[in-house]
Structure 1
Amino acid sequence: MDSCDGEVAWRFGAAKPELAAADGEIRMRALVSRIYGCVDASDPRPVVPLASGDPTPFACFRTAPAAEEAVTAAVASGKHNGYPSATGVTEACSAVATYLSRYLPYELSTGDVVLTAGCNHGIEIMMAVLATPGANVLLPRPGYPLYEARAALSGLKFLHYDLLPEKGWEVDIQGVKALANENTVAMVIVNPNNPSGAVYSSHHLAKIAETARELGIMVISDEVYEHFVFGNKPFVPMGVFGEIAPVVTLGGISKRWMVPGWKLGWIAMTDPKGILRKKKIFASIIVYRGISVDPAAIVQGAIPQIIANTDETFFTNAMNVMRETAEICYQKLKGIKGVTCPHKPEGSMFVMVKLDMSCFCGIDDDIEFCCKLAKEESVVISPGSGLEMKNWLRISIAVDPPLLEDGLERVKSFCLRHVKPIIMNQAS
């Protein structure tokens, strides 16, 4: 239909409120892209990428040879070129169930596992499945912004509970209880934690499970960094407490095996009482998975061998490097004016750092700090504003140790250059 001035009156292009509400993930990516755009191309020094948790550019984080060999063998076999089933290749689901059961007080069956195209796909599925009219889910702050984005796109309301930096970024249990209402259906935890680097103790996880039981909600436990720990606390799966409250565990091979591009994850029903099946949650997951994308059949075919053949020394060596980078980061940050690291990272690939903006001259907030840092020192860091944590920074420590050390020295030089003179005089 033509308008009066002769132009076509196109019917599409109306604003979609759900997309506007889902811009959290986009906002963080846009901020990081903007910061990269501030880097001075004439700077001869290498850019230090401390904004994202992708360790694959660094030789010290290359995946295990056994994993590469398993994928090569899966390709050569010619057995994995077709469409896999809606839940995943049976042998792959079985291998994941056996792998997860090593760390649980009960056995998972093949039917308890649904394979996904990475952990992000699992987030998408769970937010969609829970999006019944009026329902809401409790999300951590700071957290992983894809949860907000996927919840908003699905029409699922979300409420933020706080993680407490003064308590090692533990969940504010009382805050969760105060926040939940009759429409709350689940709470999300991320352990080991992105972005804080915290690893939750067995005692704290038990309190979370008891809180979920008291509220009558499930726990969605994002464990994509499972066993990716290098501090004093061991990793404990939330599913250990599945007898107390039903737990949906999200995981994948991207972090532990250092292969985020392979896009193989899972949703596991770590729910020995079968509550999630009785409430039709598992059936809904299968339905949504059936109309969604499939993880690559080649990687599914390789998973049994990836899990079975990867030597423990690979994981040990990787965590030794992470332990080194965590120590470098924590010690270097101690000596920088205007910057505080409240908790030494113990797991995942990140740490949260607090900025004291009163220490700096001519820098108003965390975004301006990151933009100027990129321009002057070619160091790229994520501003906390992308995680609703204004005047905080999220720093990736999954970087080659000498490059991380160099980058943090540049951060120190930047802060010294911009610190207020009165603070400089006090320091000296």
Structure 2
Amino acid sequence: MDSYLIQVNGHDDHGDHAMLDVHLKTNGNTIPLGKAKGRKPRWAVRASEMSKKTFNPVRAIVDSMKVEPNPKKAMISLSLGDPTVFGNLPTNNEVTRAVKEVLDSGRCNGYAPSVGYQSCREAVAAFYTCPEAPLEAQDVILTSGCSQAIELALAVLANPGQNILVPRPGFSLYKTLALSMGIEVKLYNLLPEKAWEIDLKQLESLVDEKTACLIVNNPSNPCGSVFSKRHLQKILAVASRQCVPILADEIYGDMIRDGLVRLSQRILGPCTLVQGALERILHRTPSEFYHNTLSILKSNADLCYAALSAIPGLRPVRPAGAMYLMVEIEMEHFPEFENDVEFTERLISEQSVFCLPATCFEYPNFFRVVITVPEEMILEACSRIQEFCEMHYQGAEGAQDLECDK
């Protein structure tokens, strides 16, 4: 058998990249193989393309608002969409007991199927099924919160290079997730003068051969609007004509069920403790709990709408659901502010009232109010907003004079 020896000679004074002579010795003969570049390994850990494309406008805008609240006034936050923060909308005791019992039992401490426990899927299907849209366990995939459900739905419906239709104003996470996956976002308009109904003609004009789905957020965040049955039928007519699936509160599931099951296997499934308690939560939480919660939100919405409607320069849009209210800023009456971001920054620094500028939702010159706070806080916040607006409001003549001075 022939013997082979590869001989490498050479060095580099810099100790990084070296040009080396390489020879092959076989049966006493030396054959030059030419020059080879030796390379010393280097650390080169870089952020992924997905991470570079991930952008959340709410965080980008809010985190850049470098303002301090007025130290003489307690902070009132009307920005965070979390109904539990102020304690006036607590979790029902039945829910708390159900989760505690599952935790104490130890039955749900291990891994579950990626799509969720079969018994839990059966409970969800039984709770939501109806003759017009019958559900079975295999129609249900459980996720860790709505954000993961949105991510799964987008990933199963759209490929990089395709586009999705997203409401403006709308929940920013749709755009954040889509762009990170290389999916284009096209924004269709909601009309404040029509209680935030969709501009259907403009919506349909956006559809092309690369449109993967239409997102319908109803009730809406940030608008708090609820579409009528007639308007929903018109939306369905557009989707039907264009053969575009709708991503609504429920996953648009039958035609892409196998894909969703595969995608769910990327994770280890939703929280097992909540799954274990879910059937009891669905069946034992008293209807009065939901009724009382809705009554509080409706009362707060009416109160907030009435108070803000009386303030010169503001034009709130009455909500019909969810826990949000959008307010238009008549910017021509506040000429010292460039936009809604500056308006809300000054509102924080002067009155310690924090509302989200609607630029976060692709809809400038509005701001969003969260109506889950206690009634007395709503009244105090609206009083401070009124004081702020009266201080900065300019009538038509005043605004013109200020423009001439510039």
TM-score range, shorter-chain basis?
A: 0.7 to 0.9
Q: Aligned partner of 1:285: which letter?
A: L
Which among 385, 390, 394 is matched to residue 411 of structure 1?
Answer: 385
Which among 101, 105, 108 is matched to residue 80 of structure 1?
Answer: 108
Contact 2:99 2:274 in 1 (8 A): yes
Q: Aligned partner of 1:11: which letter?
A: A
State the 1:374 CA deviation: 0.5
What is the distance in 2 between the residues matched to 1:397 and 1:347? 11
CA RMSD of aligned residues (A): 2.4
Q: Aligned partner of 2:277: which letter?
A: A
Q: Aligned partner of 2:389: which letter?
A: C
Higher radius of gyration, 1 or 2: 2
Figure out how many residues of one structure are paired with residues of the other and give that number. 365
- 1:173-206 residue CA offsets vs partner (Å, 9 max, x unmatched): 1112111001112100011111111111111112
Aligned position for 1:134: 161
Aligned position for 2:22: none
Which among 80, 93, 96 is matched to residue 124 of structure 2?
Answer: 96
Aligned position for 1:296: 271
Q: Aligned partner of 1:56: which letter?
A: T
Aligned position for 1:40: 69
Aligned position for 1:60: 88
What is the distance in 1 between the residues matched to 2:190 and 2:201? 11
Contact 1:60 1:318 in 2 (8 A): no
Structure 1 runs (4+) greater than 3 angstroms displaced: 1-4, 16-22, 421-425
Q: Percent identity?
A: 31
Which among 200, 208, 223 is matched to residue 173 of structure 1?
Answer: 200
Aligned position for 2:344: 370
Q: Against the structure 1 CA distance between its residues 213 and 169, is the aligned structure 2 distance closer, same or farther, given a 3 Å change threshold?
A: same
What is the distance in 1 between the residues matched to 2:378 and 2:295? 15
Superposed, 1:335-374 pairs within 5 Å as: 335-341=310-316, 343-374=317-348
Determine whether 1:11 maps to 2:26. no
Contact 2:94 2:285 in 1 (8 A): yes
Determine whether 1:379 maps to 2:353. yes
Determine whether 1:30 maps to 2:60. yes
Aligned position for 1:124: 151
Q: Against the structure 1 CA distance between its residues 296 and 2, is the aligned structure 2 distance closer, same or farther, given a 3 Å change threshold?
A: farther
State the 1:68 CA deviation: 0.7
Aligned position for 1:229: none
Q: Which has the higher contact order (CA 8 A, sep 6+)?
A: 1
Aligned position for 1:317: 292
Aligned position for 2:9: none
- 1:365-398 residue CA offsets vs partner (Å, 9 max, x unmatched): 1111111111111100101111111111111111
Which among 366, 373, 376 is matched to residue 399 of structure 1?
Answer: 373
Contact 1:142 1:162 in 2 (8 A): yes
What is the TM-score normalised by the length of structure 2?
A: 0.84
Which among 283, 286, 300 is matched to residue 308 of structure 1?
Answer: 283
Contact 2:70 2:351 in 1 (8 A): no
Q: Aligned partner of 1:31: which letter?
A: I
What is the distance in 2 between the residues matched to 1:144 and 1:63? 24
Provide the secondary structure at the position in 2 that maps to 1:61: coil
Determine whether 1:161 maps to 2:191. no
Contact 1:333 1:340 in 2 (8 A): yes
Q: Which runs of 5+ in 2 are unaligned?
A: 1-13, 18-40, 400-406
Aligned position for 1:245: none
State the 1:58 CA deviation: 2.2
What is the TM-score normalised by the length of structure 1?
A: 0.80
What is the distance in 1 between the residues matched to 2:160 and 2:367? 36
Q: Aligned partner of 1:375: which letter?
A: S
